[in-house]
Amino acid sequence: MKNRIFAIFLLLLVICSAGTGKVTNAGNNLVLSKSVKSNTGGSFDSFVEQLYAACKLEQSGMKKAIFRNALVGYYNIKNNNLLQNNSILSVIDYSKASTEKRLWILDLKEGKLLFHSLVAHGRKSGDNLAINFSNKVNSHMSSLGFYKTGKVYFGKHGKSLVLHGLDKNYNSNAEGRSVVIHAADYVCEDFIKTNGRLGRSHGCPAVSPEESDQIINLLEGGSCLFIYHPELKTARSEYLNEASVIKWYSKQGNIL
Domain membership flag for residue 7: no
Q: What is the pLDDT of residue 253?
A: 60
What contacts 96, CB < 8 A, 6 or more positions away?
A: 61, 102
Cβ neighbourhood burial of 81 (10 Å; 0-12, 13-18, 19+): exposed
Q: What is the pLDDT of residue 252?
A: 79
Average of per-residue pLDDT values in the chain: 86
Q: What is the pLDDT of residues 190-229, one digit of tens each?
A: 999 999 999 999 999 999 999 999 999 999 999 999 999 9
Q: What is the pLDDT of residues 122-163, one digit of tens each?
A: 999 999 999 999 999 999 999 999 999 999 999 999 999 999
Residue 57 maps to which CATH number? 2.40.440.10
Domain membership flag for residue 6: no
Domain membership flag for residue 254: no
d(CA 115, CA 8): 42
CA 80 remoteness from chain centre: 18
DSSP lists the bridge partners of residue 115 as: 105
Domain membership flag for residue 14: no
Domain encompassing residue 168: 23-247
The 3-state DSSP composition of the chain as helix, strand, coil percent (nearest 5) reads 35, 25, 45
Q: In terms of residues, how long is the chain?
A: 256
Q: What is the pLDDT of residue 141?
A: 98
Domain membership flag for residue 83: yes
Q: How many structural domains does the chain have?
A: 1
Q: Taking a C-beta distance cutoff of 8 angstroms, is the pair 158, 132 a contact? A: no
Greater confidence, 78 or 30?
78
d(CA 171, CA 152): 19
Q: Taking a C-beta distance cutoff of 8 angstroms, is the pair 161, 211 a contact? A: no
Global model pTM greater than 0.75? yes
Q: Taking a C-beta distance cutoff of 8 angstroms, is the pair 51, 23 a contact? A: yes
pLDDT confidence band for 86 (50 / 70 / 90): confident
3-state secondary structure 164-229: EECCCCCCCCCCCCCCEEEECCCCCHHHHHHHCCCCCECCCCCECHHHHHHHHHHHCCCCEEEEEC
Q: What is the pLDDT of residues 162-185, one digit of tens each?
A: 999 999 999 999 999 999 999 999
Domain membership flag for residue 3: no
CA 179 remoteness from chain centre: 18
Q: What is the pLDDT of residues 12-36, one digit of tens each?
A: 443 343 333 333 333 333 333 333 3
Phi (first) and psi of residue 47, to 5 degrees: -60, -45
Domain membership flag for residue 151: yes
Domain membership flag for residue 169: yes
DSSP character for 119? -
Residue closest to 149 by CA, chosen among 134, 166, 132 = 166
